Structure 1
Amino acid sequence: MHSNIDIQPACDVVSVTGESPVWSSRDNALYWVDVRSNRIFRMTASGSVTDWDVGERVSSVGFRRDGGLIGTFRSGIYAIDISACGTQATKTLILSPELAAGTRPKEGKADASGCWWFGSTCDANEPLGGYFRLFPDGHYVQVSDGVTMANGLAVNASGDKVLAADSITNTIWSWSVDLESNTLSERQVFSRGEGVTGLIDGATFDDEGYYWCALFGEWAIARYSPDGQLVRKIQLPVKYPTMCAFGGENLDTLFVTSSQFHAVNDKEHQPLAGRLFKLDGLGSRGVNEREFG
């Protein structure tokens, strides 16, 4: 079964640091970002690609229930409008969070209740960051601290579990969500990265409750069982994959972004670094992305 996996570049775009692929069933298109070139990309099911300049570093994007995008930027959380003609997106500030000195917003993803989870990262590699939950009415709460590099946010199919990681310690945590009261359990350890040599990076869930994540620096992606056991690795033609997301008409294609920036001195062995990949034949399907609002 595993030998039938087909791994191909999905398009000709080369990102300096590709991140945050998210599939829109509403648009029948994949969105992703290039963190270092301040751009958002959209690729339709036919393979046509459009991009927009957002004016500053954007690390993650998602969807808003009332249309348009939401994004996590260095300066805060913004609503993003790409509907106007031209290649310049417009942004409206939703939240400028009060973060610890030396940290910045990074990862972001909506949960089943319409909240936007985001993490903060410390560029000095100190555990000064955390995870936060922004509610549709504009208030937010901190749900954890002690994070050095926020990554790996994902929400399962039923919406009652959220996972998130710290790439520096390779720890993945989980929260159970009471969907009636919209409250969270205490944070639990899901995995401590046993069996991997790369860094736990961007992630998603499939419809069976398995957690997929990029292994930054290991030429691979990983699949974890619902109880936190590493059950599968798939090798990639690039050393620095950054995030994965299911998409396509049947949500059975896995898209994976990658970084050219970290492979700049190894172009001979990584000519495809920075490309967006599509993996078919995995035998797994994803779930629709939740929307903020």
Structure 2
Amino acid sequence: MNNQKTTPYAVKLFADQSLLCGEGPVWDADSGQLYWTDCGGEAIYGKGKHDGTARLVLAGHHAASLVMHELGGLVFSGRDGFFHWKAGAAPRLICNRCGATDVVNINDITADPYGRVFGGQEAFREGEPYDTGFLFRIDTDGSCTVVEEGLHLANGMGFSPDCGSFYLVDSIQRAVYAYDYEGHTGSIKNRRILIQLTKNDGLPDGMTVDSEGFLWVARWFGGGISRYDPDGKLERTIIIPAAQTSSLTFGGPHARDIFVTSAAQYWETPLAPAGHDFSSSRGGGVYRISQDIVGKPEYKAKI
């Protein structure tokens, strides 16, 4: 990243874990707690302001990403599709088929202002021929639509504050795409590259959007999170003591805390920056950064 501005902040360990692949952090403002997944360990965790340590809230289900549901509980995505889970009940399958297409290997998800849920596939398989994946939209009646294709490893998503733009990461392409978004129909169109990372930057992973319309992107193999203005220009980078920084979200009482997940799994790959030290501190914990920028609350699912 040329001319990058590195901003010093106090980065504190929020949950001291060794998650194989920490992902999908989401803040529940109603209860004042954070939820996140261990995508590699088939687990969802939670921690509130009065909890000393993280607690396991759901085990035995592959969960790659989370959004809050308006009626309570969480919507999660994974290898078997989309599910809704509430405490005390078994997860309810929302969708695993879209016409003739299997809705499988769903990675990151996000809810839109109308309560629909978007979820993208992880089609990439290292060392193997692979088909490019889809981006699905689940409407509030549970119906499914393919809204984009040609994705390799769909990752973080978000909306501009005016809801005129939809953003989507494709990690393997090292790109953050911007689309025109139509709220009444849930359609996206006019894909363009807003941010293009280089190999030395690492892989863009999870992302979120703040109240000023800036995009925050976690950089796997990059050991940090970066903030970009709405035109795609790098504004700042915050270093995280974990090379495999995976995702992030805003939270806390005033939406000024940033929670960042990371991954302990070992993945030696030519996709990493040249000379990357795979024996370095990869991660596995969840971090908290208190700063002055206000986040934009994530929308809740209504499906």
After TM superposition, the score normalised by the length of structure 1 is 0.89
Mind listing any 5+ residue stretches in structure 1 that lack a counterpart?
none
Matches within 5 A, 1:88-167: 90-98=90-98, 104-125=105-126, 126-167=130-171
1:274 aligns with 2:284: yes
Which residue pairs with 1:37 in the alignment?
A: 41
CA shift for structure 1 position 127: 4.8
Runs ≥4 residues deviating over 4 A: 1-4, 98-103
Counterpart pick for 1:70 among 66, 69, 75: 75
Which residue pairs with 2:179 in the alignment?
A: 175
Read off the aligned partner of 1:81 and give its amino acid letter.
Answer: K
8 Å contact kept, 1:15–1:259: yes
Alpha-carbon distance in structure 1 between the residues aligned to 2:103 and 2:209: 31
Structure with more strand by fraction:
1
* 1:153-177 CA distance string (max 9 Å, x none): 1223333322111100112112222
CA shift for structure 1 position 47: 3.7
In structure 2, relative to structure 1, the CA distance for the partners of 1:184 and 1:268 (3 Å cut) is closer
Read off the aligned partner of 2:294 and give its amino acid letter.
Answer: R
Aligned residues: 285
Q: Which moved more, 1:151-160 or 1:34-43?
A: 151-160
Which residue pairs with 1:258 in the alignment?
A: 262
1:284 aligns with 2:278: no
Read off the aligned partner of 1:51 and give its amino acid letter.
Answer: L
Alpha-carbon distance in structure 1 between the residues aligned to 2:7 and 2:196: 28
Alpha-carbon distance in structure 2 between the residues aligned to 1:254 and 1:62: 16
CA shift for structure 1 position 63: 1.0
8 Å contact kept, 1:103–1:128: no
Which residue pairs with 1:205 in the alignment?
A: 209
SS in 1 for 2:94: strand
CA shift for structure 1 position 37: 1.3
CA shift for structure 1 position 34: 0.5
Alpha-carbon distance in structure 2 between the residues aligned to 1:292 and 1:53: 19
SS in 2 for 1:169: coil
Alpha-carbon distance in structure 1 between the residues aligned to 2:206 and 2:186: 24
Q: Over aligned residues, Cα RMSD in angstroms?
A: 2.4
Which residue pairs with 1:11 in the alignment?
A: 15
Amino-acid identity (%): 25
Alpha-carbon distance in structure 1 between the residues aligned to 2:95 and 2:39: 19
CA shift for structure 1 position 103: 6.2
Q: Which moved more, 1:205-214 or 1:101-110?
A: 101-110
8 Å contact kept, 1:213–1:243: yes
Alpha-carbon distance in structure 2 between the residues aligned to 1:199 and 1:69: 27
CA shift for structure 1 position 278: 0.6
Read off the aligned partner of 2:301 and give its amino acid letter.
Answer: F
Q: Which moved more, 1:191-200 or 1:249-258?
A: 191-200
Read off the aligned partner of 1:171 and give its amino acid letter.
Answer: A
After TM superposition, the score normalised by the length of structure 2 is 0.86
Alpha-carbon distance in structure 1 between the residues aligned to 2:153 and 2:293: 28
In structure 2, relative to structure 1, the CA distance for the partners of 1:120 and 1:195 (3 Å cut) is closer
Alpha-carbon distance in structure 2 between the residues aligned to 1:236 and 1:105: 26
In structure 2, relative to structure 1, the CA distance for the partners of 1:196 and 1:100 (3 Å cut) is farther
SS in 2 for 1:233: strand
Mind listing any 5+ residue stretches in structure 2 that lack a counterpart?
269-276
Alpha-carbon distance in structure 2 between the residues aligned to 1:181 and 1:149: 25
Counterpart pick for 1:186 among 159, 183, 190: 190
